[in-house]
Each structure stands twice: as structure tokens, then as C-alpha cells.
Chain A
Amino acid sequence: MKYVWSNLTQRWEMLLTTAVLLVIWEICVHALGIRGFLLPAPSTIVAHFLASPAYLLRQSLDTLVTTAMGFGLAVLLGIGAAVGIVYSRFLDRTLYSLLVALNAVPKVALAPLFVIWLGTEAAPKVAIAMLIAIFPILIDTVLGLKSVDPDMLAMARVNQASKAKVLWKIRFPSALPSIFAGMKVGISFALVGTIVGEFVAGGSGLGHVILVAQGSFDTPTVFVALALLCVLGVVSFKLIEIIERRLLTWHASQMGLH
């Protein structure tokens, strides 16, 4: 109860601060006579959203779906590859080192290549989102799977546990906090990847909306898209956090909250 209360107060404080900042923004724009194509007032931005909500929400949904697909693929492939790397010394030495090297490349620079390979539909966007999101997930999963208490493995061995059982009943659950840490970074990265894909491949999504609006100096629409992206980012991150909290009630970092 106390927790709920302090949480509400905190939320209250945040909303109030945001509201005050928006009011200051609004007043500044009017008082200083800043022109709309440089910095639109919040009221203008809201008006622009209300002018064509269906279109903007459809583009948001498009971005959300692409992000979710890219992220989902990143989770599947990232965890799968991590298991392979942890269980095979060969993969550890080859694939893992290669991936770490690849991680140093700014992956955004690969986006045009994907358009050449995969066309301009959803595929290149999903691929870019996946490529950017997979690294934190993979690296954190490898770390989590590897840093299992060696005594725990000894306990499994004296109980005749097979490799598969050790993976599913010990390594994987104890790596979950680490996997979720990777996924929380990964979901934000997936959104970045989607926007980059939409910039490069075009066609649809909030990235495309921003690009088109920029072409006609329609700054308020750019801000609408940014606000919607902000909502998407926060909601998807929170979603992962909620799943984490449900799954990891046992984990120490969650204990203060229960």
C-alpha cells in the first residue's frame, strides 16, 4: 500500500513537471514569436495530430509491428545463438568473436545494403531492427548463461543431470535477469532500427512520416511523429519490464518492489 502510494505521488510529480515544461514552451513560442516551422507550440502539435489521427495512428501501428517483429526475431536468434556459443567451444571462438567484431560496425550504415537485398517492403526494416537489437540480447544472454554458479553445476552433476536439463532447469532460469537486461536495451534498439529502416526504405511508418514532413517543412508533423515515437518507446519498454517483474519475482533486484 505504501509502495502504491509513493508510486502515485511520483507519477503525479512527473506529470506536473511535464505539464509545467509544456506551458513554459507554449508561452516562450508565443512571447518570442518563434515561427512554426522552427519550433511549433505544443498546442499546434496537438492540433496537427487531431487533424489526421487515423493516418498517424496507422503509421504508428506500422512502426510498432515492425519493431515487434524485429525484436521478436532478435530474441529468438539472439538466445539461440547464445546457447550455441555457451555449449560449443568452436562457436565461442569463431561466431562469438566475429559477432563482437561486427558489433563495432555502426549497423545503421548497413541499412542501404538491406534495401538492395530485401527491397522496400517490411523485410529490410525488420532486418535492420533485428540486427541492431540482437547484440545486447545475445551478449547479455551469453554472459548470463556463462556466469552460473559452478557449485550449482556440481549439484546438478551429482544428481546425474543431462546437459539439456542443466540448460533448462539451471542455466536458463538463472540467466533470466541478465537476458531481460539485454532485452530492455534491445527493445529500444529495435525501435531505432525500425526508424532507420523507414528512413532508408520509405513507404510507411513514423520514420517515413518524419521524412515526408521534413521535405515540406511541416515541422509540427515531425513533432507529432516524435511524440508518438516517445509513447511507443516507453510503452514497449514498460511491457518488457512488466513481463520481467512477473517472471522474476524471485530475483533480488525485484525484491524491494514486492
Chain B
Amino acid sequence: MRCLPTDRPLEPGPAASTPGFLDIQRVDKVYASGRGSLQALEDINLSIAEGEFISIVGPSGCGKSTLLKCIAGLEPISAGRLTLDGQVIDAPPRNMGVVFQRDLLLEWRNILDNVLVAAEFHDLRKRDFEARARELLALFGLGDFLDRYPRELSGGMRQRVSICRALLLDPQLLLMDEPFGALDPFTRDELNAELQRTWLATGKTVVFITHSIPEAVYLGSRVVIMARGPGRIDQAVPVDIDRPRGLDLRETPAFVAYVKHIRNRFRQLGIYKD
């Protein structure tokens, strides 16, 4: 825990000149419709190094989910350049896992088969991944629920299964779109801690979208602040707090200072009117 972001000028991302592992350069996204067009993203620049945990925080309608969809190759970009490990993203990349807002489990499959569906979809042999699926589920505390069906599980357990599904093929990049938004605060805390543990153990590159400033600071090595109208990146705040971060850390002055700084920035952007 070193100095606070407020008493020094904010640096741009670490590798602004050299291309990052995930590189977003001057990206625009325009939705064209019959009655004109809507600019969802404007001039997005972000260079993400391998192994970074990037939190993207912003109000509804700031285009953060759109940005994630573009990175996932689900939406084509209108202008700019988007590369993952040097490869232009024009379709969903292979070495990527995605956790969505909703768990999107297949109700007719048990938990183990819900995780293994990632291998099946990739045309890989299911049984080659069964051991890994069991291991992952055990890691997330679901070892005793392998043959249960999604309807028998709580919301937190279901979202854990969907995280295991995204991790099954050991992707280099993990995209998470407000994965804990629908969970109660206790479960959310638990999953935040579990996610941090997983990230520390595997060193994956994570792009994590959230509405919650404390969650963004707790998890992120950098917090990207997005503003709306049109959606753009306001600034990226490096979070200089040692890991592993305990849940109690969120009440420490250093942590609170980060949260305050980000909230103030949103206030200046006119998001808060208090």
C-alpha cells in the first residue's frame, strides 16, 4: 500500500506505445438504424498487458458491455484496431473465456456437463476434459454437486459453474460482464475473493466489467473509468495495493481513497448529482 492516486499525476496505461497483449486502438462503434445512427463507443484506446486484471467501471449506457462484446468478437467494430496477441479480432478468439451477466446454464444438463459443454462446442473430446472440470468445480466448492441440475442450485453456485465453464479450456483471456451484479452482497464478497484467488493462481488476463466502484478497485490492477454520451474511456487508474487483498482491506484508508477518487471523477463527469 503506497501513495494514493490523488497526490500524483495519473499515468496512462503501462504500455501505451508498444502494443499490449490485448490492444484497443482508436476503436469506434456505431450502431446504424433506420432513423440515424447511435455512437456507442468513441475513440477507445487501451493497451492491456498479459496477466493484468482490468476493471471497467461506469454508469449504465456508457458502452462498457458493448466494448466487451467487441473484444469478445461478438460485435464488429466500426473503426480502429482491436488485436489479441497480435491477431486482429474479427470473430470470437479461441483462447478466450467469457462469463456473462446471467449464468446461461443449460437447464437440461447436470453441473459437470454444463462445464464440459465448452469442450463439446470447441469440438474437443469431452472425456479429455472431465478431470479438469471436476478439479475446477471442486476448487469453487461444487465438488459435491457434479450430478445436480442448475435448478437445484443457488444463484451464486450457478454463476460459479459458469465461471468454471469459461475456465475449462484454460483461456489466456477471461472476459467478465458484470458477473456478480445479480448476487446478494455476501455471495458477491465470496465470489470476489474466489476470483482474486483464481487470478493470482493462474495469472490470466482478465477484463472485468462492473457497476460497483469498490468491486472494481478490490479486483483490478487498473480501473478504467468510462463515461457516456458517447461511450468513452475517461481515465485508467492503476491500483497500487498489494495482493492478496483481503475483504477487510476495503475499509482501509488507501482503498477508500481510490474509491473516493473514482467517485469524484464520476461526479465531475456529471454522473452523480449529490
Q: Which residues does A use to contact B, with CB under 8 Å?
A: 149, 151-152, 154-162, 165, 169-170, 173, 248, 250-251, 255
Per the 8 Å Cβ criterion, residues 103-120 of B in contact with A are 104, 106-108, 117-118, 120
CA distance A255 to B98 in the complex (A): 30
11 interchain pairs, CB-CB under 8 A? A149-B104, A151-B100, A154-B74, A155-B100, A155-B104, A158-B74, A159-B118, A160-B92, A161-B122, A162-B123, A250-B149
Q: With A158-B74, A158-B92 in contact, is A170–B106 under 8 Å at CB? A: yes
Is the beta-carbon distance between A155 and B98 smaller than 8 angstroms? yes
Q: Per DSSP, are chain B's interface residues mostly helix, strand or loop, or mixed?
A: loop
Residues of A within 8 A of B100 (CB): 151, 154-155
Nearest B residue to A165, CB-CB: B121
Given A158-B98, A250-B149, the answer on whether A169 and B106 have CB atoms closer than 8 Å is: yes
Residue-wise interface mask of B (53-70) relative to A, using a CB-CB cutoff of 8 A (1 in contact, 0 not):
000000000000000010
B206 at the interface (CB under 8 A from A): no
- A253–B8 Cα gap in the complex (Å)? 59
* Nearest A residue to B171, CB-CB: A158
Contact pick for A169, options B69, B94, B117, CB 8 Å: B117
Q: A158-B74, A250-B108 are in contact. Are A169 and B120 (CB under 8 A)?
A: yes
B151 at the interface (CB under 8 A from A): yes
- Evaluate contact between B121 and A169: CB separation under 8 angstroms: yes
Instruction: State whether B74 touches A157 (Cβ < 8 A).
Output: yes
Complex: A152 Cα to B107 Cα, angstroms: 12
Q: A173-B106, A255-B151 are in contact. Are A160 and B74 (CB under 8 A)?
A: no
Instruction: Give Cα A158 to B97, complex, Å.
Output: 7
Q: Which residue of A lies closest to B97 (CB)?
A: A158
Centre residue among A152, A165, A250 by max chain B CB count within 10 A? A250
- Are the CB atoms of B98 and A165 closer together than 8 Å? no
Residues of B near A152 (CB, < 8 A) are 104
Whether the Cβ atoms of B118 and A151 lie closer than 8 Å is no
Write the chain B residue with the least CB distance to A173.
Answer: B108
A251:B121 contact, CB within 8 angstroms: no
| Cβ contacts under 8 Å, B51 to chain A | none
Instruction: In the A-B complex, list the 5 residue pairs whose CB atoms are closest, starting with the nearest.
Output: A159-B121, A161-B121, A250-B107, A158-B92, A158-B98
Task: State A38–B117 Cα separation when bound (angstroms).
Answer: 64
